[in-house]
Amino acid sequence: MDFKKIKAPTTTVTYNLDELEQGTGNIYESIVIMGKRADQIAQQMKEELTQKLEEFAAYTDNLEEVFENREQIEISRYYERLPKPTAIAIQEFLEGKLVWRKPRRDRRKRSGK
């Protein structure tokens, strides 16, 4: 995912519940969908950050380590400044970029046999 192109806010925003409910017709269902997407985004961000930081992994303890890890610090700061996964998920939901499916439920009555 290209996090540079994300237009989600980095600060707290108050949303209109009616807007969040429009996609599903049920606010609770909308929240569950956005929550699951936020979990996916958080996992993806964590994996990407871990990969980038592993490039700078040094397994020796010495005084030079502080100076060698400036790139690592910059990468960490970049990820700290990104919008939070929940904000990204809400933005994707409001823009209609999320796709979800409801599992079919068997609504027939079952006999005791």
6 domain-assigned: no
Helices marked H in the chain — which ranges? 17-22, 27-54, 65-68, 70-81, 85-94
pTM: 0.76
48 domain-assigned: yes
Domain of 79?
A: 14-94
What is the pLDDT confidence band of residue 39, given thresholds at 50, 70 and 90? Answer: very high
Q: Please report the pLDDT score of residue 113 as a whole number.
A: 45
Number of domains in the chain: 1
Q: What is the mean pLDDT of residues 72-99?
A: 90
CA–CA separation, 10 and 85 (whole Å): 10
75 domain-assigned: yes
Tokens 């996916």 label which residue?
Answer: 40
59 domain-assigned: yes
19 domain-assigned: yes
